């Protein structure tokens, strides 16, 4: 439970708010770069600021305030020129630094244009995303987290703008237990309602809930702890019947990279080639652009198809009839976050032992807000070029994925997809259980899965 004041302090992201000032120390992914090929001018909202992103005809990126300072029409309907963006109404031209270059309807020989400038922020492209920095100068370096720059990987991303505050998405990162019900029991119920459970009794049986209930009946419980590192923390989890040197407890799993990147390694099993980041970008106090960024990593001997850009697809929160779409993992998460309310009222919550990592994230966030207020630099603000290449690869636990989690009681639930699909007669491939099914290059991904399977089979034959 938080006080009303603390809930405000941790959630609001506008200029001048404590959390907004903290988040302005970081680069934020604001837009899929591939979309600029369709339309080089886009309206974006980030940290409660209305802005316009453009790629001019010289190839340069710019991010400026939305309103033209002449008579306030939107630059989102502007025209990209050789350098900068021209307002559609009377043709004022602005460059990426916000300088007014031309006022074509004004008499020449005056200094009027030199007296006019607009707000402009630095932008960079990396990993198929456009990133922006809205904070005090000098801007730090843009960190090159592993999956955005890894050379032998096939990338796709999916996202959705959710009608809720960013911290709700972020608190889910520490909430390992929710998989049992949100992705287990609810998944089963959603398929049941849609008549999609197979007749195979094994496929209908809910191993997640059963495993967890049986463990509880034996007196086994799972405990959690944050294992802090330079970039955030990994999540430690341990069953009460396990030894403390179990890797999921001693090293932890699935790092949280402050402020809001969550890294998943490849899971155990030869078909699981997907690494991913999840991040919820704070659009404003009550909206979050949530993105799953997938990188399919295969052995070097398998060729990766060339990608000119990283495709982006919107994933649905609802069906055409307005009901929530609950038949995939990310959809289940998004519904739970949105249904906590626009800014969930944490004065009314009742946290339990299974919320230990939710509390750990809040504490870290609170500490970093305090640092900025005290005039210091928060964590993960990089100013040394030697530090920005795949920093998370230097921390233990970044590559652990499912294998060590499977050793734990709740970790057993991470195999939930198999409870429905491994034995199903439907023969649904693994990636259909989650948001990957919406990836534009789904067929390419399936082909990569098949190639990895073939390679593994050939290697087994040799042995």
Q: Which residues bind ligand FES (CB under 6 A)?
A: 68, 70-71, 73, 87, 89-92
Question: What are the distances in angstroms from CA 402 to CA 6, 248, 260, 270?
Answer: 34, 10, 21, 12
Count of residues touching Fe ion (by CB under 5 A) = 1
Alpha helix stretches (DSSP H) within 242-400: 247-250, 329-338, 356-373
Answer with the entry of Fe ion, ligand FES, none that 68 interacts with (C-beta below 5 to 8 A by kind). Answer: ligand FES
d(CA 410, CA 404): 11
C-alpha 374: how far from chain center = 29
Using rule CB under 5 A, residue 56 touches Fe ion: no
Minimum distance from residue 71 beta carbon to ligand FES (Å): 4
Spatial contact of 236 and 245, defined as CB atoms under 8 Å apart: no
Answer with the entry of ligand FES, Fe ion, none that 189 interacts with (C-beta below 5 to 8 A by kind). Answer: none
Q: Which is nearer to ligand FES, 89 or 189 (CB)?
A: 89
Using rule CB under 5 A, residue 171 touches Fe ion: no
At residue 97, what are phi and psi to the nearest 5 degrees? -90, 0
Q: Which two tokens stand for residue 72?
A: 């306030």
Mark 195-224 with x for binding to Fe ion (rule: CB under 5 A) and - for no binding: ------------------------------
d(CA 129, CA 202): 42
Answer with the entry of ligand FES, Fe ion, none that 87 interacts with (C-beta below 5 to 8 A by kind). Answer: ligand FES
Q: Which is nearer to ligand FES, 69 or 429 (CB)?
A: 69
Spatial contact of 202 and 423, defined as CB atoms under 8 Å apart: yes
d(CA 430, CA 23): 36
Answer with the entry of Fe ion, ligand FES, none that 258 interacts with (C-beta below 5 to 8 A by kind). Answer: none
Question: What are the distances in angstroms from CA 433 to CA 317, 404, 441?
Answer: 15, 22, 16
Q: What angle do CA 391, 396, 400 make, to 5 degrees?
A: 110
Minimum distance from residue 87 beta carbon to ligand FES (Å): 3
d(CA 158, CA 40): 20
Q: Which is nearer to Fe ion, 234 or 254 (CB)?
A: 254
Q: Tell which residue, 44, 55, 50, has the closest CA to residue 68.
A: 50
Q: Which is nearer to ligand FES, 111 or 348 (CB)?
A: 111
Using rule CB under 5 A, residue 333 touches Fe ion: yes
Answer with the entry of ligand FES, Fe ion, none that 73 interacts with (C-beta below 5 to 8 A by kind). Answer: ligand FES
Q: Which two tokens stand for residue 238?
A: 């341990």
Answer with the entry of Fe ion, ligand FES, none that 333 interacts with (C-beta below 5 to 8 A by kind). Answer: Fe ion
Q: Which is nearer to ligand FES, 74 or 309 (CB)?
A: 74
Q: Tell which residue, 237, 223, 290, has the closest CA to residue 262.
A: 290
Q: Which is nearer to ligand FES, 91 or 140 (CB)?
A: 91
Spatial contact of 92 and 23, defined as CB atoms under 8 Å apart: no
Q: Which is nearer to ligand FES, 68 or 405 (CB)?
A: 68
Q: Which is nearer to ligand FES, 71 or 196 (CB)?
A: 71
Minimum distance from residue 74 beta carbon to ligand FES (Å): 9
Using rule CB under 5 A, residue 175 touches Fe ion: no
Q: Which stretch binds Fe ion (CB under 5 A): 208-216, 270-278, 329-337, 357-365?
A: 329-337
Which residues are at the interface with Fe ion (CB under 5 A)? Answer: 333
């Amino acid at each position: 439970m938080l006080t009303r004041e603390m809930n405000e302090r941790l959630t609001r992201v506008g200029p001048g708010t404590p959390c907004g000032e903290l988040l302005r120390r970081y680069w934020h992914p604001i837009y899929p770069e591939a979309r600029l090929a369709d339309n080089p001018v886009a309206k974006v909202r980030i940290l409660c600021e209305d802005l316009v992103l453009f790629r001019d005809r010289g190839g340069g990126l710019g991010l400026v305030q939305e309103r033209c300072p002449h008579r306030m029409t939107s630059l989102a309907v502007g025209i990209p020129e050789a350098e900068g963006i021209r307002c559609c109404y009377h043709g004022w031209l602005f460059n990426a630094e916000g300088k007014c270059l031309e006022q074509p309807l004004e008499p020449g020989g005056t200094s009027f244009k030199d007296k006019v400038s607009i707000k402009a922020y630095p932008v960079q492209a990396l990993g198929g995303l456009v990133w922006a920095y809205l904070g005090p100068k000098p801007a730090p370096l843009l960190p090159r987290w592993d999956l955005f720059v890894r050379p032998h990987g096939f990338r796709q991303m999916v996202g959705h703008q959710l009608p809720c505050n960013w911290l709700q998405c972020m608190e889910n990162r520490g909430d390992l237990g929710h998989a049992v019900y949100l992705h287990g029991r609810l998944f089963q119920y959603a398929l049941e309602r849609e008549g999609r459970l197979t007749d195979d009794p094994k496929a209908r049986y809910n191993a997640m809930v059963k495993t967890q209930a049986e463990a509880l009946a034996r007196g086994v419980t799972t405990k959690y702890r944050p294992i802090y590192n330079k970039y955030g923390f990994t999540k430690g989890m341990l069953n009460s019947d396990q030894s403390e040197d179990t890797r999921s407890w001693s090293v932890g799993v699935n790092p949280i990279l402050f402020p809001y990147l969550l890294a998943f390694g490849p899971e155990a099993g030869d078909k699981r080639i997907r690494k991913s980041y999840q991040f919820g970008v704070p659009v404003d106090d009550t909206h979050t652009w949530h993105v799953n960024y997938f990188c399919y990593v295969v052995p070097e001997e398998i060729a990766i198809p060339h990608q000119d850009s990283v495709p982006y697809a919107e994933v649905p929160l609802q069906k055409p009839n307005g009901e929530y779409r609950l038949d995939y993992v990310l959809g289940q998460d998004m519904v739970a976050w949105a249904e906590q309310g626009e800014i969930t009222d944490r004065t009314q919550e009742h946290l339990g032992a299974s919320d230990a990592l939710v509390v750990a994230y809040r504490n870290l966030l609170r500490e970093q807000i305090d640092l900025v207020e005290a005039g210091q630099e928060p964590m993960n603000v990089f100013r040394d070029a030697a530090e920005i290449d795949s920093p998370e690869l230097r921390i233990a636990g970044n590559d652990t994925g499912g294998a060590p989690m499977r050793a734990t009681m709740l970790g057993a639930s991470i195999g939930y997809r198999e409870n429905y699909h491994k034995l199903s007669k439907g023969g649904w491939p693994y990636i259909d259980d989650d948001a990957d099914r919406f990836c534009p290059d789904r067929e390419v991904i399936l082909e990569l899965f098949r190639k990895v399977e073939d390679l593994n089979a050939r290697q087994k034959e040799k042995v």
